[in-house]
Amino acid sequence: MSGKIGVKIIPRPGRTAGEQVFVKEIAKGLGLTLKRFFQNTLEVGGPSEIATISYPEEQETYSERFRGVHRLTQRDDGSPRCVACLCCSTACPAQCIHIEPAEYAADDPRYGYERYPEVFVIDELRCIFCGFCVEACPCDAIRMDSGLHMPPSTEREHFLFDKETLLSIPGRDGTYLTGNPRHEPGDESHPGIDREQGGH
């Protein structure tokens, strides 16, 4: 064994001048592009495959599972159902929810039982609309059933939804409440357990 490596030279196949400048292939590509263009714009040879609509004159009908902009549901007195447990902000993978909890006044039936969000802000530009916050909320306080998509704007602050903005967005049914009622502190049906009693 001499240790030499054998080399086999493969000659490059010859090409004509037409093949070298790809005139035929360019013409075929342009022909296909023009065919699709006229088929989609003039609906020649079948229905158009363009999914574009003339917004806002035409609007898409969203499915029931569409995740629209967030909203906070309200209690009967108009206060947010949120108890500032921070489950939604903890579950949020984009970390776009900021909550500052506060305690109710001592004369409020909810004092010692639950808190409320003094500050509740969602950065809709950072949100990835995954719906984890809705799934994590134990009080059905945050929802994405508004049926609305994000309105266009060039101002950064327009995409920071504070508590008042979130409370002012209704659901698809036009209400601000929720279809899942719960026993509120102060109601006759409430068990009366608070932090101090602890169920004893």
pLDDT at 183: 73
pLDDT at 78: 87
pLDDT at 47: 59
**pTM score of the predicted model:** 0.67
Mean pLDDT by 10-residue block, N- to C-terminus, for the chain (200 residues)?
A: 77 80 88 86 63 76 87 90 94 96 89 90 95 93 90 90 95 86 71 55
DSSP string spanning the chain?
---PPP--PPPPPP--HHHHTTHHHHHHHHHHHHHHHHHHHH-TTS--------TTTS-----TT---S-EE-B-TTS-B------HHHHH-TT--EEEEEEEPPTTSTTTTT-EEEEEEEEETTT-----HHHHH-TTS-EE--S--PPPP-S-GGGGEE-HHHHHT---TTS-SS-SS----TTSTTS----TTTTT-
